[in-house]
Structure 1
Amino acid sequence: MDTPVCFIDTDSAGKLCVQQSALEILEQIQQPVVVVAVVGLYRTGKSYLMNRLAGKQTGFALGSTIESKTKGIWMWCVSHPTKAETTLVLLDTEGLGDVDKGEPKHDTNIFSLAVLLSSTLVYNSRGTIDNKAVMDLQYVTELSECIKVKSSDEDAEDSSEFVKFFPSFIWAVRDFTLELKINGKDVTKDEYLEFALKLKPGTSRSVVEYNFPRECIQKFFPSRKCFTFPFPTTQENMCSLGSLDSAEISSEFLKVTDNFCQFVFHDSCVKRLKDGYTVTGRVLGHLAKTYVDTISSGAAPCLENAVIAMAMIENEAAVNEGLQVYQSGMEKLKGSFPLELKDVSSEHQHLSSMATQAFMKRSFRDTDGKFLKSLEEKIIKLFDEYLCQNKQASKKRCEEILSSLSAPMMEKLEQGFYVKPGGYDLFCKDLEDIGKKYNSQANKEVKAEEVLEEFLKTVDSKAILKADKKLTEKEKKIKKEKEKAALLEQEIKAKEEKQRQLEEKFEAERRSNEERMRQMKEKMDEEMKLQREEAERAMNSKLREQADLQEKGFKEKADRLSQEIEEFKRRTTEAESNKAREFAEIIENYNQRHEKVMDVMMQQLREQMKAKLKPEAGSSSSCRIM
């Protein structure tokens, strides 16, 4: 994208809506995304920072009046400067606190969306981080009401559930002029932020009101960073900051800005959903649509519901993607039909594995394995269709070979060449020569035996044998029996070939299933790993919070948190156990379904075996071909 576009706007009814043009852009981004959103009071210079993150001087609109320039949420997608095959998505939000807004919850909704969609949240303010600055960040106190982790109220207030998916937090303080000293000692910018978020002891109403937003920031954003920016330029140049040369901007301001950008580039993580699912541009668009539609309906966005909806969309798309991989590969192979069955089966197994890989890469929370089952069933159906097309191509080729080889003999038959004494032996000799040449040319064709069987049934030698005066009646009777035996032998060969092909197909499906099971196991192990990592991050956040409370003398709060930690450990262990059991059930159910498919194929094999020695009724006679 050369320039930003409007991502989320307000419609004529005053409701938030996602712009279709922005969704179309995100739909094309299949890479993981790092999403950086900036929020803060209007006219505090948010857009300038986002332009610098995009590596540009201009892009997001910079206002030069007291009016808020940015409306809704604007988006700019650029290649990530330090992470390969990753897209950096920058979200510039409408300034909070604009007096022109009529909807009282509008700012809260914008702030909530920035939290839900970003992997790094930048809060931009001016001056100092004093109590007013903290109180201006009132929206953070409403997050537990505006965002739900689960569809039920269970564990709704547990901050550990929020920190699993909340973004890291950067406080950017603009136009900062103070010395970084506390009690006469030099401190870092991060220490300055933590000092501003320090809780007061006591339980009075004023203390509770003072502590509440600070507790929320600490709980919801355990990963915090602070940058303090000096004035960028003279007061008269402030309105044209975006067009100034670097020589006209404070070198210290440029240095801090550069440090800020480098930190964001190196420390901002790829956006993930609950349970560790990596978000691509396409998924980000679906998420935004889900969250905005929920907000517009008057409900609070629910992460669990969003994940369920996302899983449905992505899993259906994953099935189609896997199927496309398989089908495009088989269509290329189709151009070489007819082929030996082993060649078709080998390519089927290879493409089936690739299709499963494509599915696994995109699928998410296929909790009962039904989408993988759907992919398997569609691939098996396609495989049968391609086998049928290969057989048809083989049959056509075999018929062409036989037609070419038998043409001289058929012409002799029409002319009555064989209707004479000794004609029967001449006929058998010609037919035998045709058979040898045919077997030489069509020996690898899947329909070779079957087409030959059909051909022999159509060649009627009765009239020739009857007219041959050279043979005695006894000799004619013996030759008739030999004809029947030869035809029966060819029928058995054709049935044996069908049985061999069915066995080969059975083996191909068995190997394909083993490969699917292996990939499924890998996918489940990866999901378990991500779930454990997610739980560890939440646990470490709680432990840091507990240590901080103990250090600062908040024993009662620390003790309460200790109980929360124990409960969190119990729930985490239980969730991991449930997940393992769930995975075991998925594999068991999948195996059972596959065994049923294999049972059907085995039944077909058994029926082939029974029919192998039974000649078809009404078979015509012909001479033996060897």
Structure 2
Amino acid sequence: MASKFLMSAPVCLIENKGNQLYVCQEALRLLSEIRQPVVVVAIVGLYRTGKSYLMNKLAGKNSGFALGSTVQANTKGIWMWCVPYPERPNQTLVLLDTEGLGDVEKGDSQNDSWIFALAVLLSSTLVYNSMGTIDQMAMNQLHYVTELTECIKSKSSTRNDSNRLEDSADFVRFFPTFIWALRDFTLQLEINGHPITEDDYLENSLKLKKGDPRETELFNLPRKCIRTFFPTRKCFVFERPTKGKNLHKLEQMQESELDSDFVEQAALFCRYVYWTSKEKTIPGGHVVTGHLLAKLVETYVETIRSGQVPCMENAVLALAEIENTAAVNDAVARYEELMKQKAKLPTATVEELLRIHAECEKEALQVFMARAFKDESRQFQVQLMKTLDQKKEEYCHKNEQESTTLCWAVLTSLSQELENNIKKGIYSQPGGHQVFVDDLKKLEQRYQQEPKKGVKAESVLQQFLCDKEHVGRAILQSDQALTSKEKEMAEAEAKAEAAERERDLQKQQQAVLEQKMEDQQRSYELNLRQLEEKMVIERNKLLAEQQQMMESKLREQDAFLKEGFKKEADRLNGEVQKLKQQNETIRKPGFIGSALGFLADGVSAVLPGALGKAANAVGNFLRKIF
């Protein structure tokens, strides 16, 4: 379904006031309304470098994000513009224009570092915008990338290690792709007289320098960080858009008034971003919606304001808690919606109601599985199972009530003549007992012929007949046409029939219990199968993610070796080996088996009386799989 969400202009998402960051609640509300997957493109760079112009072009507009035409930084904090994604009707493009870094009037480099870190944490594509060429000054201005591990923690247990590049894979899982946009670029793209591409220029600029470690550390560190944290990189160069005296009018100028090369370069940039930018995801491949992105914004900014370092793992766990709760609610709502559509009460049998329940439960479970993530202890899945089991019992109870009401209405209607005869004393005459018995049997036959009485038909009839036993005994004892022996035989026969009806009723009740137990076993096995399917998909996504990281690290390792930096190559080799070990663990049956085990344990704890033979069934099911 195409997105109906549309913002006519950008709004401030994160306000920077007095060097303190605040989330703007109205922007957060707008973002929360987006239930589609989002592609988040953020732009960062020094102030007065034309960042906002590129973001307006990505929005398909000439104006929107403030361009500013003075030496003062114009954008404060982080501004957001959500627009329909070109040719992707099921996604929304979220553009984030950040406050210019290095504003001399601000006088707080830490505040700039938080802005940069937030852009990295929130985006799926990060654009770094700078002026001129990639020289040492440009690298020095990009010192924020070297501070990322000081502003961001990948895991709550991460130590403050002096080696900032250790375990970079944990960061790469979260980090966006990287585009370097070079503005007012005037050099020829060539090396040693040979033409090169923009990407070649970037990669050549990222090469390390040998020499005295103390002298080369400042030179190499930002380059190593970019190569390590952003394995997917792209470069675009832009000529000056127009003559200097017209720059302040850029927002009002038509494309025909701008330099044609600049217009073409901007168009190529936009097409590349549109074609290659991916949905914002979190580790494991779970896609982020606008609703979830709003929660991430809130979590990260609150953490920064509290004086702590944002932890990506903690943020994901907080998201999972919110999303899994919503997944349970969505699944239950879907179950109730389907049951209202399909369950026409009273049903003829309990088996029919359980069949409808099973169909609705299966679809509800699919709703849950599609949205839930990182439910590692299976807490939320067990909660859903318990809730749906309770809902099933409520429907069974309501089904019985509906049937009971209907059956008594039928019996009341059919027994009017019988009741009138009792009141008139018709059966109190000699031979009246046999007439009473015959009339009662006729009533029973007519009752049995009535359709759609539901699951309580027999039990209600049994209660009705029990209620009439004392009337029958009174009529029997007063019947002067019968001898004492005949009365004893008639009473014994009536008791035998009542006992037989009671046995039949108990058998029916036992059959219902067994059907419910079988349904619970079916439910458990359904949950186990769907969990296994989900775990297989998640394992494959994780392995693909790991493989992509390994390939990028192997490419960098090979490049470092060619450049003669064996120490850096060895460091990357260590990370590759660690990823391989993780892959071996992921491929083991226990990766899935432990999740199924958690589910079985959770069910046993929450529903201890379920199934009778369920424990063996669940155990046998797990053994069958593994």
Conservation of the 8 A alpha-carbon contact between 1:150 and 1:302: yes
| Residue aligned with 1:169, SS | strand
In the alignment, the residues of structure 1 paired with residue 169 and residue 503 of structure 2 have an alpha-carbon distance, to the nearest angstrom, of: 70
Q: Which residue of 2 aligns with 1:363?
A: 372
| Aligned residue identity for 1:23 | L
Q: Which residue of 2 aligns with 1:476?
A: 487
What stretches of structure 1 of length at least 5 have no aligned partner? 605-626
Deviation at 1:240, TM superposition (A): 2.1
Which of the numbers 523, 527, 538 marks the counterpart of 1:512? 523
Q: Does 1:82 align with 2:87?
A: yes
Alignment deviations for residues 484-528 of structure 1 (CA, whole Å, 9 cap, x no partner): 111112212222221222222222222222221111001111221
In the alignment, the residues of structure 1 paired with residue 457 and residue 569 of structure 2 have an alpha-carbon distance, to the nearest angstrom, of: 82
Conservation of the 8 A alpha-carbon contact between 2:130 and 2:182: yes
| Aligned residue identity for 1:473 | S
| Residue aligned with 1:225, SS | strand
In the alignment, the residues of structure 1 paired with residue 412 and residue 612 of structure 2 have an alpha-carbon distance, to the nearest angstrom, of: 36
In the alignment, the residues of structure 2 paired with residue 360 and residue 3 of structure 1 have an alpha-carbon distance, to the nearest angstrom, of: 36
Conservation of the 8 A alpha-carbon contact between 2:543 and 2:586: no
In the alignment, the residues of structure 1 paired with residue 205 and residue 604 of structure 2 have an alpha-carbon distance, to the nearest angstrom, of: 64
- Percent identical pairs in the alignment equals 45
| Residue aligned with 2:119, SS | helix
Which of the numbers 303, 308, 312 marks the counterpart of 2:317? 308
Which of the numbers 285, 296, 319 marks the counterpart of 1:276? 285
In the alignment, the residues of structure 2 paired with residue 383 and residue 282 of structure 1 have an alpha-carbon distance, to the nearest angstrom, of: 31
Query: 1:8-19, aligned counterparts within 5 Å?
Result: 8-11=14-17, 14-19=19-24
Q: Which residue of 2 aligns with 1:3?
A: 9
| Aligned residue identity for 2:434 | D
Deviation at 1:354, TM superposition (A): 1.5
Conservation of the 8 A alpha-carbon contact between 1:339 and 1:390: no
Distance 1:586 1:571, change over 3 A: closer
Q: Which residue of 2 aligns with 1:622?
A: none
Q: Which residue of 1 aligns with 2:622?
A: none
Query: 1:81-230, aligned counterparts within 5 Å?
Result: 81-154=86-159, 157-230=166-239
Q: Which residue of 1 aligns with 2:400?
A: 391
In the alignment, the residues of structure 2 paired with residue 576 and residue 546 of structure 1 have an alpha-carbon distance, to the nearest angstrom, of: 25
| Aligned residue identity for 1:319 | V
Q: Which residue of 1 aligns with 2:506?
A: 495
Distance 1:551 1:304, change over 3 A: same
Which stretch of the first structure deviates more once superposed, 273-282 or 415-424? Answer: 273-282
Conservation of the 8 A alpha-carbon contact between 2:427 and 2:436: yes
In the TM superposition, structure 1's runs of 4+ consecutive aligned residues that sit over 6 Å from their partners are none
Query: 1:444-459, aligned counterparts within 5 Å?
Result: 445-459=454-468
Deviation at 1:575, TM superposition (A): 5.9
| Residue aligned with 1:355, SS | helix
| Aligned residue identity for 2:100 | G
What stretches of structure 2 of length at least 5 have no aligned partner? 1-6, 615-626
Conservation of the 8 A alpha-carbon contact between 1:340 and 1:444: no
Alignment deviations for residues 126-153 of structure 1 (CA, whole Å, 9 cap, x no partner): 1222221121111001012111111123
Alignment deviations for residues 529-588 of structure 1 (CA, whole Å, 9 cap, x no partner): 1221221122112111111112222234324433443344335434655xx535313312
Q: Does 1:57 align with 2:65?
A: no
Alignment deviations for residues 25-83 of structure 1 (CA, whole Å, 9 cap, x no partner): 22222222111100011111111111111122222122122222211111111222133
Q: Which residue of 1 aligns with 2:560?
A: 549
Conservation of the 8 A alpha-carbon contact between 1:33 and 1:88: yes
Conservation of the 8 A alpha-carbon contact between 1:82 and 1:266: no
In the alignment, the residues of structure 1 paired with residue 36 and residue 613 of structure 2 have an alpha-carbon distance, to the nearest angstrom, of: 46
Distance 1:443 1:232, change over 3 A: closer
In the alignment, the residues of structure 1 paired with residue 565 and residue 356 of structure 2 have an alpha-carbon distance, to the nearest angstrom, of: 67
Alignment deviations for residues 381-432 of structure 1 (CA, whole Å, 9 cap, x no partner): 1111111011000000000000000011101111111111221122112111
Deviation at 1:345, TM superposition (A): 0.9
Q: Which residue of 2 aligns with 1:608?
A: none
In the alignment, the residues of structure 1 paired with residue 549 and residue 401 of structure 2 have an alpha-carbon distance, to the nearest angstrom, of: 60
Distance 1:549 1:214, change over 3 A: same
Conservation of the 8 A alpha-carbon contact between 2:102 and 2:109: no
In the alignment, the residues of structure 1 paired with residue 444 and residue 535 of structure 2 have an alpha-carbon distance, to the nearest angstrom, of: 56
| Aligned residue identity for 1:421 | P
Q: Does 1:531 align with 2:542?
A: yes
In the alignment, the residues of structure 2 paired with residue 180 and residue 285 of structure 1 have an alpha-carbon distance, to the nearest angstrom, of: 41
Deviation at 1:442, TM superposition (A): 4.9
Conservation of the 8 A alpha-carbon contact between 2:462 and 2:501: yes
Task: Give the structure-2-normalised TM-score.
Answer: 0.91
Query: 1:24-35, aligned counterparts within 5 Å?
Result: 24-35=29-40
Q: Which residue of 1 aligns with 2:621?
A: none
Q: Which residue of 2 aligns with 1:343?
A: 352
| Residue aligned with 1:105, SS | helix
Q: Which residue of 1 aligns with 2:275?
A: 266
| Residue aligned with 1:548, SS | helix
Q: Which residue of 1 aligns with 2:257?
A: 248
Which of the numbers 414, 426, 434 marks the counterpart of 1:425? 434
Total equivalences in the alignment: 601
| Aligned residue identity for 2:495 | K
Aligned-residue CA RMSD in angstroms? 2.1
Q: Which residue of 2 aligns with 1:621?
A: none
| Residue aligned with 1:521, SS | helix
Conservation of the 8 A alpha-carbon contact between 1:161 and 1:538: no
